[in-house]
Chain A
Amino acid sequence: MFRPLNRRTVLRGAGTALALPFLEAMLPRSARAAPTKPLRLLGWYFPNGYYHVNGIDDWTPKTTGAGFALSPILAPLMPVASQVSVLSGVANPPADAANLSCAHARGTGSFLTCVAPASGSSDGVSMDQVAASQLKAYTRFASLELGTDTVGGDIPIRSTIAWADANTPLAKETRPAALFDRLFAADTMLTPAEIEKRKAYRKSVLDSVLVTANDLSNKLGKADRQKLDGYLSGVRDLELRIANQGSGPMCTPGTKPPATGDIRTQTKLLLDVLALAFQCDVTRVATFMFDRAGSDLAYPFLTANGAPINAGHHGTSHHHGAAANLAQLKEILLWQTQQLAYLLDKLNKMDEGGESVLYRSAVFYSSEIGDGDLHEQQNLPIVVAGSAGGALKPGSHTNFANKASKADLFITLLRAVGCTVDKFGGDGDVALSI
């Protein structure tokens, strides 16, 4: 079978100066026929699920089909409703097969991978990274991993949703200003000659560290080599990025965001930069992770029944059906939807040759579990937004009665953005019709 050339292999083989434009043979088959305008994929995580208890469910729309009525929690999506689908009754059985005691950890580890994580630091390839590996030839960044949790100190499957491979969780950028710099900063005061010199220096350093790291890799056992692989591929990625610097589409990114300690501002600014990154085609694949598995954040800036929400989210998510808890959860979930609506609205207003960036995207928005008390891996709360350039037909609510698997949905989304995929995760083998 024809095997596409690996771009890295080419670069390594040819030595130095091969920069864009790339050879078509290096592109995956599906990408070669790719349209001139980009398609994007975003995976978005919010923690602790939602609630459906004693007939109370403020998340799931009451009606199905096209023209469904948005539920109270999803109401903020009204301005972009024609680009939004709600999927209920989707399950992710592999997560529960994991031999890990914590349901939040299982669900988060499996959130975009749909496998049973083997341990706290071992997972599968996430769907965004399947896309990134196929679309990276087009953009400076294969993918962006964004998140709000600056604390860290947790096991990877609780704090990461993007996995390049089973052993490589991808760290998140949490600071909007640093992200902006990484994507857009150009040293405008340097002359072209100085910029070229700097690039040559960086390339020489990276070439040199690759030589010794490859030597080292040959001396290591299998287990240790896996750790070094993350370093090696990171160095190669960086070499490519430096080589491609200054090429590709240019756009005006606007002003660098300020530093912030407020999670509301942080979230908004991260989403601003993300929208710019899509608009400027700096990347076509991204994930956004709000806090982490079993988040116990308080939301003192929100009120429920007239009082600020000072209790931790995870505690409240074990709602026991108590009205006071549900009232708080409703406000928290509503706020989360508002963040999604903020981004979707922004993407919807970005014009790309008569279509919006949102129309040319596929956005997956969900949580690590269904009901917070049940810790379930079915009845997952899922919003899919965007049309992926026409491959998706948003604007409806479908109830799959827990007969659909999330992995199948990911096959649908990956194909919608032009990726080739046969099977995905633990149980994905056929695209879900949505």
Chain B
Amino acid sequence: MAACQAVIETPVPDPVFVPPGPTCDDPGHVTLRRLNRTEYNNSVRDLLGDTTEPANDFPADPSGSFDNNGDVLALSPLLVESYETTAAKVVDGALLPPPTPISMQLEAETLAAAMCPGGTEPAGSDYTCFGYLPTSAPTGVAIWEHDYYIDRNQALPADGEYTVTVRVWKAGTVNAKLAVLLDGKPLVQRDVSAAASAPDLVTVTATIPGGTHRFQIRNTNDARAYERDLGVDWIKIEGPNNPPNPAREAFRAQVFSCDPAKDGVDACAKKILSSFARKAYRRPVTDADLGQLVPLVQLAISKGDDFQAGIRLAMKRVLTSAEFIFKVELDEQPNTPVVHDVSDLELATRLSYFLWASTPDDALLQSAESGALHDPAELEAQTRRMLADPRADALVESFAAQWLQLRKLGPSSPAASVFPTFDQALKSAMQDETTLFLKSFVREDHSLLELLDARYTYLNDRLAQHYGISGVTGADMQKVALTTPQRSGILGHGSILTLTSPPNRTSPVRRGNWILANLWCEVPPPPPPNVPALPEGASTAGKTLRQIAEEHRKEPRCAACHKKMDPMGFAMEHYNGIGEYRDVDNGQPVDSSGVLPDGRKFDGAAQVAAMVKNDPEYLKCVSAKVLTYSLGRELTDSDQCTVDQLAQELPLKGNLLKELAVKVVATKQFRQRRGVLAVGGP
């Protein structure tokens, strides 16, 4: 049952501004957009060379058709807090000098004494001070009860590999059981049989993030024996033992390109921060900008920190600022619908977040700064240059993955009891197949029509086996030529077939809906409320899903939409809920034939695919999706003629995605904007 998941809200038209007829003169208003998680990650990557995707820890983005839609991208206090803490994290991560390793030997009796001031435990603590007793040889404590522990919060200077060693012995008559825990999770567990005269050194190495962590030494012997004490002498924490990172050092050297002692603090700070802020703000830096940044460097120095710490503080400020977080576009008359070109710098930002989902590079900024970018030839040249750059893969990871709802594969969870062969490895391979397939449309010259019937795909051994295709070996994904239409095109991809299925079966309705909504841009309304139950005595035994649904569809209120959705979905019934091919469902042969209300007939997924791609709605739909994504707003009626025009010109250019992107960039909608007549005053 489609859970009105696919409902796209009808765009709310401007209450006052009426576009002047069907001439496509209205470029529309793009609401001030903040960076979404992908764009934040990519921008930080391109600014700091840091690829740890810090925004994955941000609260999830809401989304319209796409998650770069300014109208839905709200900014909550939680997110502002994330920006502030993340700015500090990524700047320090990229620019802090390599950490000085620590080596801390913490004596057990000191830990116990700190936990039990005056021999008693603080109120609310979950341990008892009777749980560990002083021992004489060696000097330490005996943890004598099951699950009793001593612990210590220890600050670690940086992310990295640490060595943790404890010196322990059997202080009772039976073996003790040792567990060393990091933040509540066991690092190592060991039976301890060494005598007090020759204690055991238990050593473990672990990768631990910087910051404060709780180290715990626990006796886990739950035997009902009294003499099971764990003797502890000390715990030693050493590290980080990080290998040198030449790329990071090179980046630091590149950033700190001047010497404050020689060049002067202010001059050097201005030089470094101008270069950084220009890229982060996507525009030349002004004196006013530096007036906000340089004092932070001075502040740090006045508080006893060094120049580099001051630069880092100012950079944190840059990454916390509205001008980094938002893609700012200004109107001279923001509260009137006067149409104007966006500035060259705004155009550069639109272009780079469209094609790269990231910040403009130096070449693009230079083009904009020189005032050349709005020239159609220059704009096209920059677009083609950027499409050829590996960063254009964002068109797949961000645009296409959302267009085709590929992001829904991750959370889908086929039921193990129904599909025992499904596991994470298979899901990853499905994801990779579709991603690589889509990338071939960006990296190579394939017609968008091939999306539906390409005679190639990308498989590894696991996925090939799942599809019943022989001759593919190894866990790496590889391009495979297909000899039958069974897996030709996106409709045969396990990813799409799985993400449109509930956990335990197929859903022809969802599949039909997926095709209509994403490939023809027809979004059926959600089902009416109170759909009546199946007729009394109706039994599902021995019937295929199709037979059950056909009975159900006799209800006239449902028929109108389902007459279109269901036949397309049922044509896919040769694929089960995880995309395996089958000829039999519930004991009966699969019937994949169907007919649309307008009389078009088909049998099976390949014929549906052929019908979909030969319908003019398909290229219109792709054009509309690309335009929507490029603008970061939902389309309105006044955009329709632009969509029609894009779709008309597309075949002349071989139906190539990159040609579509070039055309989209040249549209009025992309190059212009207008304000909004403010209702009730500005």
Contacts of A426 in B (CB 8 A): none
Chain B contacts with A in 286-305, Cβ cutoff 8 A: 288-289, 292, 295-296, 299-300, 303
A349 lies within 8 A of chain B by Cβ: no
User: Which A-chain residue is minimally distant from B317 (CB atoms)?
Assistant: A205
Q: Are the C-beta atoms of A298 and B415 separated by less than 8 Å?
A: yes
User: Which B-chain residue is minimally distant from A177 (CB atoms)?
Assistant: B183
Contacts of B317 in A (CB 8 A): 204-205, 208-209
| Contact flags A148-185 to B (C-beta < 8 A → 1, else 0) | 01111111100110001001111111110010001001
User: Which A-chain residue is minimally distant from B289 (CB atoms)?
Assistant: A212
CA distance A159 to B288 in the complex (A): 40
Q: Are the C-beta atoms of A101 and B76 separated by less than 8 Å?
A: no
User: Which B-chain residue is minimally distant from A307 (CB atoms)?
Assistant: B417
A322 lies within 8 A of chain B by Cβ: yes
B335 lies within 8 A of chain A by Cβ: yes
Q: Are the C-beta atoms of A102 and B526 separated by less than 8 Å?
A: yes
CA distance A224 to B34 in the complex (A): 11
Contacts of B32 in A (CB 8 A): 220, 223-224, 227-228
Binds B, one of A26-34, A60-68, A369-377, A387-395: A369-377
Q: A153-B61, A233-B77, A373-B531 are in contact. Are A211 and B4 (CB under 8 A)?
A: no
Binds A, one of B5-13, B235-243, B340-348, B639-647: B5-13
Q: Are the C-beta atoms of B3 and A211 separated by less than 8 Å?
A: no
Contacts of A307 in B (CB 8 A): 417
How many positions in chain A have a CB within 8 Å of any CB in the partner chain? 94
Which single member of B296, B320, B323, B410 contacts A216 (CB below 8 Å)?
A: B323
Contacts of B33 in A (CB 8 A): 227
CA distance A167 to B322 in the complex (A): 18
Binds A, one of B79-87, B170-178, B352-360, B368-376: B79-87
Q: A209-B320, A296-B3 are in contact. Are A320 and B534 (CB under 8 A)?
A: yes
Q: Are the C-beta atoms of B417 and A155 separated by less than 8 Å?
A: no
Q: Are the C-beta atoms of B71 and A373 separated by less than 8 Å?
A: no
Q: Are the C-beta atoms of A252 and B3 separated by less than 8 Å?
A: no
Contacts of A360 in B (CB 8 A): none
A20 lies within 8 A of chain B by Cβ: no
Contacts of B9 in A (CB 8 A): 100, 105, 119-120, 155
Q: Are the C-beta atoms of A228 and B415 separated by less than 8 Å?
A: no
CA distance A201 to B80 in the complex (A): 17
Shortest CB–CB separation between residue B61 and chain A, in angstroms?
A: 5
Q: Are the C-beta atoms of B79 and A171 separated by less than 8 Å?
A: yes
Q: Are the C-beta atoms of B313 and A205 separated by less than 8 Å?
A: yes
Shortest CB–CB separation between residue A114 and chain B, in angstroms?
A: 20
Which single member of B73, B80, B183, B295 contacts A256 (CB below 8 Å)?
A: B183
CA distance A251 to B678 in the complex (A): 49
- Most chain A CB within 10 A, of B3, B214, B296, is at B3
A188 lies within 8 A of chain B by Cβ: yes
Q: Are the C-beta atoms of B212 and A189 separated by less than 8 Å?
A: yes
Q: Are the C-beta atoms of A169 and B3 separated by less than 8 Å?
A: no
Q: Are the C-beta atoms of A318 and B320 separated by less than 8 Å?
A: no
CA distance A145 to B411 in the complex (A): 22
Contacts of A173 in B (CB 8 A): 59, 78
Q: A104-B3, A159-B62 are in contact. Are A121 and B322 (CB under 8 A)?
A: no
Chain A contacts with B in 300-347, Cβ cutoff 8 A: 300, 307-308, 310-312, 314-315, 318, 320-322
CA distance A205 to B325 in the complex (A): 15
User: Which A-chain residue is minimally distant from B151 (CB atoms)?
Assistant: A255
Chain A contacts with B in 57-111, Cβ cutoff 8 A: 99-105
Contacts of A231 in B (CB 8 A): 34, 75, 80, 322, 325-326
B579 lies within 8 A of chain A by Cβ: no
Shortest CB–CB separation between residue A173 and chain B, in angstroms?
A: 6
B25 lies within 8 A of chain A by Cβ: no
CA distance A168 to B76 in the complex (A): 7
Q: Are the C-beta atoms of A224 and B320 separated by less than 8 Å?
A: no
User: Which B-chain residue is minimally distant from A142 (CB atoms)?
Assistant: B77
User: Which A-chain residue is minimally distant from B126 (CB atoms)?
Assistant: A254
- Most chain B CB within 10 A, of A189, A200, A235, is at A235
B367 lies within 8 A of chain A by Cβ: no
Shortest CB–CB separation between residue B150 and chain A, in angstroms?
A: 15
A197 lies within 8 A of chain B by Cβ: yes
Which single member of A121, A151, A322 contacts B533 (CB below 8 Å)?
A: A322
Q: Are the C-beta atoms of B533 and A294 separated by less than 8 Å?
A: no
| Contact flags B298-338 to A (C-beta < 8 A → 1, else 0) | 01100100000000010011001111011010110011000
Q: Are the C-beta atoms of A105 and B7 separated by less than 8 Å?
A: yes
Binds A, one of B42-50, B117-125, B226-234: B117-125
CA distance A201 to B304 in the complex (A): 12
Q: Are the C-beta atoms of A206 and B320 separated by less than 8 Å?
A: yes
Q: Are the C-beta atoms of A171 and B84 separated by less than 8 Å?
A: no
The 6 closest A-B pairs by CB, nearest first: A152-B60, A234-B80, A221-B334, A171-B59, A310-B415, A189-B155
Query: 20 A-B residue contacts at CB 8 Å?
Result: A101-B4, A121-B62, A153-B61, A155-B72, A156-B74, A201-B313, A204-B313, A212-B289, A221-B675, A222-B334, A222-B679, A223-B678, A231-B75, A234-B79, A235-B80, A238-B77, A238-B84, A298-B502, A300-B415, A320-B534
Using CB atoms and an 8 Å cutoff, list the residues of chain B in contact with chain A: 1, 3-5, 7, 9-10, 12, 29, 31-34, 57-64, 67, 70-81, 84, 122-126, 153-155, 183-185, 211-212, 214, 288-289, 292, 295-296, 299-300, 303, 313, 316-317, 320-323, 325-326, 328, 330-331, 334-335, 402, 407-408, 410-411, 413, 415-418, 502-505, 525-527, 529-534, 675-676, 678-679, 682
